[in-house]
């Protein structure tokens, strides 16, 4: 160890651990066939001297997983859907790659030896238990699955602290805040500003939004992302989930986390310090940047992704979010305030409502209505454990589906 290295995470991960410099890291990617997973593999492909792949997992996309496994030669692959196992096993039989199947295998693989960093790029609730198991097993997590912390933030942060493992955010806003905090004393933070693009419906009237369907909601102005998060951006639930994620990652109360709409998505978030100074992290809206930062941390690894061309951005603008039209943002603050299982209810109801919207079984404004009804009707558990989160998730899922199928939502 060199002087200045504490090797410890707390205040922790902001102290550069020089002994890690220049090492080739073995990455496990949970959800390698999704949007973040594919972009992470692009990062690995561009930095073969710095990153290798230990494990890849997918839920159903067997063909793409086979393609990725042949290119990156991981130690193991896992497919969530057991029906895909024979095909996967057959295709990879001649390679030295272990093949596993089933949901449980995805949670178990995170405990495996030889894994340096787990990039959790799963979507929704499915990512929570793998994050919990990873930090419990003392593994460093690069977290793209914000729902892990929304559902069970207190539990996961406590386990990470107990095992002295950092959780490095991949979410662009949280990566920005994390970067602004490097070298700072966390006690000097006054508040954080999470920037929001405002999504495709920013500035629209209620009736214009009512007339919009799935196609319009999926047209995000700045970011290329999966369907679930793109709809969450359109409803502003994404920002609501990010407020809760920021609360757990940075240990700030809700009244010191403010959302500000910044349509250009150049400033990825900001930290305001007690002396009145403000730090912003900027860059082109490209998820490969926060992915590379999280995987490379504490190093900044050179990359040739596009740079900001200021002639393209003659002005950067800011506006307040519309809480009336985008109810989800207020609901998320309410859930954070209620604590316990309320954020878990918020998330489960939202997942079901977004699925129903994508299947055209629920109008856009019905999403927040379903979330609100679930928050009002589900039992509240204070000081929940892991089992409480699991049962609350499943009970809320049922409740939300009942509201959707009976069309008992109102807005
Ligand atoms: Mg984000």
**CA triple 245-280-235, angle to 5 deg:** 45
DSSP label at residue 319: B
Burial class (CB in 10 A: 0-12, 13-18, 19+), 194: buried
- Please tell me whether residues 132 and 189 are part of one structural domain: no
Q: In angstroms, what is the span from residue 229 Cα to ligand 1's centroid?
A: 9
Q: In angstroms, what is the span from residue 337 Cα to ligand 1's centroid?
A: 21
Q: In angstroms, what is the span from residue 170 Cα to ligand 1's centroid?
A: 8
Q: In angstroms, what is the span from residue 160 Cα to ligand 1's centroid?
A: 22
Give CA separation, 173 vs 34, 128, 195, 298, in Å.
20, 20, 7, 18
Q: In angstroms, what is the span from residue 175 Cα to ligand 1's centroid?
A: 9
* CB of 341 closer than 8 Å to CB of 381: yes
What pLDDT was estimated at residue 21?
Answer: 59
294 lies in a domain?
no
Q: In angstroms, what is the span from residue 288 Cα to ligand 1's centroid?
A: 13
Average pLDDT, the chain: 93
Q: In angstroms, what is the span from residue 233 Cα to ligand 1's centroid?
A: 9
61 lies in a domain?
yes
20: pLDDT strictly greater than 70: no
Q: In angstroms, what is the span from residue 282 Cα to ligand 1's centroid?
A: 14
DSSP tally for the chain: helices H, then strands E: 16, 11
**Hey, is 313 helix, strand or coil?**
coil
What pLDDT was estimated at residue 8?
Answer: 37
Which of 116, 136, 170 is the last residue before a domain boundary? 170
Cα(399)–Cα(353) distance, integer angstroms: 11
φ/ψ of residue 12, rounded to 5: -25, -75
Q: In angstroms, what is the span from residue 377 Cα to ligand 1's centroid?
A: 29
* CB of 291 closer than 8 Å to CB of 36: yes
Q: In angstroms, what is the span from residue 112 Cα to ligand 1's centroid?
A: 29
- Please tell me whether residues 52 and 148 are part of one structural domain: yes
Q: In angstroms, what is the span from residue 87 Cα to ligand 1's centroid?
A: 35
Q: How confident is the model at residue 337 (pLDDT cuts 50, 70, 90)?
A: very high
Q: In angstroms, what is the span from residue 326 Cα to ligand 1's centroid?
A: 17
Q: In angstroms, what is the span from residue 198 Cα to ligand 1's centroid?
A: 12
Helix orientation angle between 172-181 and 237-250, rounded to the nearest 10 degrees: 30
Beta bridge partners of 58: 79
The whole domain housing 112 covers 12-170
H-only helix segments in 297-341: 327-338
Q: In angstroms, what is the span from residue 197 Cα to ligand 1's centroid?
A: 10
- Please tell me whether residues 269 and 402 are part of one structural domain: no
Give the predicted TM-score (pTM) of the model: 0.93
For residue 360, what are the contacts with CB-CB under 8 A and spacing of at least 6?
A: 213, 214
H-only helix segments in 93-127: 103-109
- How many whole angstroms from its chain centre is CA 342? 19
Cα(156)–Cα(133) distance, integer angstroms: 9
Q: What is the pLDDT of residues 304-320, one digit of tens each?
A: 999 999 998 889 999 99
296 lies in a domain?
no
Give the gyration radius of the chain's Cα atoms. Answer: 21
Domain count, the chain: 3
Q: In angstroms, what is the span from residue 339 Cα to ligand 1's centroid?
A: 22
- Tokens describing residue 340: 């316990």
- Please tell me whether residues 31 and 144 are part of one structural domain: yes
2 lies in a domain?
no
Q: In angstroms, what is the span from residue 36 Cα to ligand 1's centroid?
A: 12
Burial class (CB in 10 A: 0-12, 13-18, 19+), 96: exposed
- Please tell me whether residues 180 and 194 are part of one structural domain: yes
Q: What is the pLDDT of residues 119-174, one digit of tens each?
A: 999 999 999 999 999 999 999 999 999 999 999 999 999 999 999 999 999 999 99
- Please tell me whether residues 320 and 269 are part of one structural domain: yes
Q: In angstroms, what is the span from residue 223 Cα to ligand 1's centroid?
A: 9
303 lies in a domain?
no
260 lies in a domain?
yes
Q: In angstroms, what is the span from residue 83 Cα to ligand 1's centroid?
A: 33
190: pLDDT strictly greater than 80: yes
Q: What is the pLDDT of residues 277-333, one digit of tens each?
A: 999 999 999 999 999 999 999 999 999 999 999 998 889 999 999 999 999 999 999
> Other C-beta atoms within 10 Å of 174: how many?
27
Q: In angstroms, what is the span from residue 219 Cα to ligand 1's centroid?
A: 16
Give CA separation, 80 vs 13, 31, 108, 375, in Å.
32, 10, 12, 30
Q: In angstroms, what is the span from residue 122 Cα to ligand 1's centroid?
A: 14
Give the dihedral sign, CA 155/371/332/220: positive
**Hey, is 398 helix, strand or coil?**
helix
Q: In angstroms, what is the span from residue 242 Cα to ligand 1's centroid?
A: 7
Which of 170, 199, 215 is the last residue before a domain boundary? 170
Cα(352)–Cα(373) distance, integer angstroms: 13
- How many whole angstroms from its chain centre is CA 232? 12
Q: In angstroms, what is the span from residue 241 Cα to ligand 1's centroid?
A: 9
Q: What is the pLDDT of residues 63-101, one digit of tens each?
A: 999 999 999 999 999 999 999 999 999 999 999 999 999
Q: In angstroms, what is the span from residue 357 Cα to ligand 1's centroid?
A: 21
For residue 322, what are the contacts with CB-CB under 8 A and spacing of at least 6?
A: none
Q: In angstroms, what is the span from residue 171 Cα to ligand 1's centroid?
A: 5
302 lies in a domain?
no
- Please tell me whether residues 180 and 158 are part of one structural domain: no
């Amino acid at each position: 160890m060199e002087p200045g290295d504490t090797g410890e995470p707390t205040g922790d991960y902001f102290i550069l651990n020089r002994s890690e410099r220049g090492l080739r890291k073995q990455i496990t990617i949970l959800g390698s066939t999704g949007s973040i997973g594919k972009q992470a593999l692009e990062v690995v492909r561009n930095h073969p001297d710095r990153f290798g792949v230990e494990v890849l997992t997918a839920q159903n996309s067997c063909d793409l997983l086979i393609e990725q496994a042949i290119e990156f030669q991981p130690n193991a692959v896992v497919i969530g859907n057991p029906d895909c196992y024979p095909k996967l096993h057959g295709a990879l039989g001649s390679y030295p790659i272990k093949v596993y199947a089933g949901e449980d295998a995805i949670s178990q693989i995170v405990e495996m030896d030889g894994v340096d960093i787990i990039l959790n790029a799963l979507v929704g609730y499915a990512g929570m238990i793998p994050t919990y198991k990873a930090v419990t097993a003392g593994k460093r997590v690069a977290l793209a699955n914000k729902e892990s912390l929304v559902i069970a933030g207190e539990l996961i942060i406590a386990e990470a602290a107990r095992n002295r493992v950092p959780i490095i955010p991949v979410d662009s806003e949280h990566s920005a805040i994390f970067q602004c905090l490097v070298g700072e004393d966390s006690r000097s933070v006054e508040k954080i500003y999470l920037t929001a693009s405002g999504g495709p419906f920013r500035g629209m009237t209620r009736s214009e939004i009512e007339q919009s369907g799935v196609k319009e909601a999926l047209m995000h102005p700045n970011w290329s992302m999966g369907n679930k998060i793109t709809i969450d951006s359109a409803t502003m639930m994404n920002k609501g989930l990010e407020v809760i994620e920021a609360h757990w990652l940075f240990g700030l109360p809700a009244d010191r986390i403010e959302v500000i709409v910044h349509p250009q998505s150049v400033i990825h978030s900001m930290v305001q310090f007690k002396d009145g100074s403000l730090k912003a992290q900027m860059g082109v809206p490209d998820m490969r940047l926060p992915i590379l930062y999280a995987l490379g941390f504490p190093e900044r690894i050179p990359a040739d992704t596009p740079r900001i061309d200021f002639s393209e951005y003659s002005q950067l603008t800011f506006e307040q979010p519309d809480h009336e039209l985008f109810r989800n943002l207020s609901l998320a603050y309410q859930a954070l305030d209620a604590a316990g299982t309320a954020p878990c209810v918020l998330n489960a109801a939202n997942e079901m409502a977004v699925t129903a919207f994508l299947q055209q079984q629920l109008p856009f404004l019905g999403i927040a209505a379903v979330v609100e009804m679930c928050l009002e009707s589900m039992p509240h558990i204070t000081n929940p454990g892991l089992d409480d989160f699991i049962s609350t998730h499943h009970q809320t899922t049922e409740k939300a589906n009942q509201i959707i199928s009976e069309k008992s939502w109102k807005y």
